[in-house]
Copies of this chain bind each other. A is one copy, B any other.
Amino acid sequence: MNPTPPAALSEILVVVEVLATLAFALSGLLAAARQRLDAVGVCVVTGLAAFGGGTLRDVLLDRRPFFWVEHSAWLWVILGLSAAAMALMRVRHFAPTERAMQWPDALGLGLFTANGTQIALEQGLPAIVAVLMGLVTAVFGGVLRDIVCNEVPRAFSDHRPYAICAFFGGWTLVGAQALGAPGWLGLLLATVVAAGLRAAAVWADYELPRWEPGAAE
């Protein structure tokens, strides 16, 4: 039911989680800077963006300890990053644009998609459930970040593809695994597909077709 992955892959998964956490932390920092939050707000938004998705994944999969409990040093890293960023901003004028935060956001989306899907597959869950878990892991940190910044979550409101990138990324991992690809390759492909699709959509300003009742035909 719950086969232990080879040590190498579980170590790669931790690296992926760290990178995803840092990418979302950066997107949270930029979002907080744009909103001119106070010191506590910066830490809260950065921390929620960094750890929110992984924590919801672990609650849904009933995994303990959480990443930030097992590796609690990362809490200090996030606090330190927030402090450093605020100190930096004080001495240099820096007004991040909305676009700036979309690149780390896309990267975190890809990394958490791969990570969440892989962890769910290792628990023996069906493919569609694993893909959904990857999607939730990838999307939820950003949703919390936007809610606390008092914006409508980007994942739901901008009509550019977001969750759907995670959806395709997750299926890439499932497909790679079904074809017998090594674990690291599946993770890499899923990350590249999900982050790449999102980055391309932001780059090209592509919007999903809306539901216009009676518009066609």
A binding-site residues for B, Cβ under 8 Å: 32-33, 36-42, 44, 55, 59-60, 62, 64, 66, 68-69, 72, 75-76, 86, 89-95, 125-126, 128-129, 132, 148, 150, 152, 156-157, 159, 161-164, 207-217
Contact = CB atoms under 8 A, between A and B. Distances in A.
Contact of A72 (B39, B66, B128, B161): B128
B125 A162 contact: no
A75 B132 contact: yes
21 contacts: A33-B211, A33-B213, A36-B212, A37-B211, A38-B210, A39-B209, A44-B156, A55-B60, A60-B66, A68-B129, A72-B125, A72-B128, A72-B129, A86-B211, A89-B211, A89-B214, A90-B213, A91-B216, A93-B214, A148-B156, A150-B152
Given A128-B72, A148-B156, A208 B90 contact: no
Given A38-B211, A59-B59, 15 more contacts: A33-B213, A36-B211, A36-B212, A39-B209, A40-B162, A42-B211, A44-B156, A62-B62, A72-B126, A75-B132, A89-B214, A90-B213, A90-B215, A91-B216, A92-B214
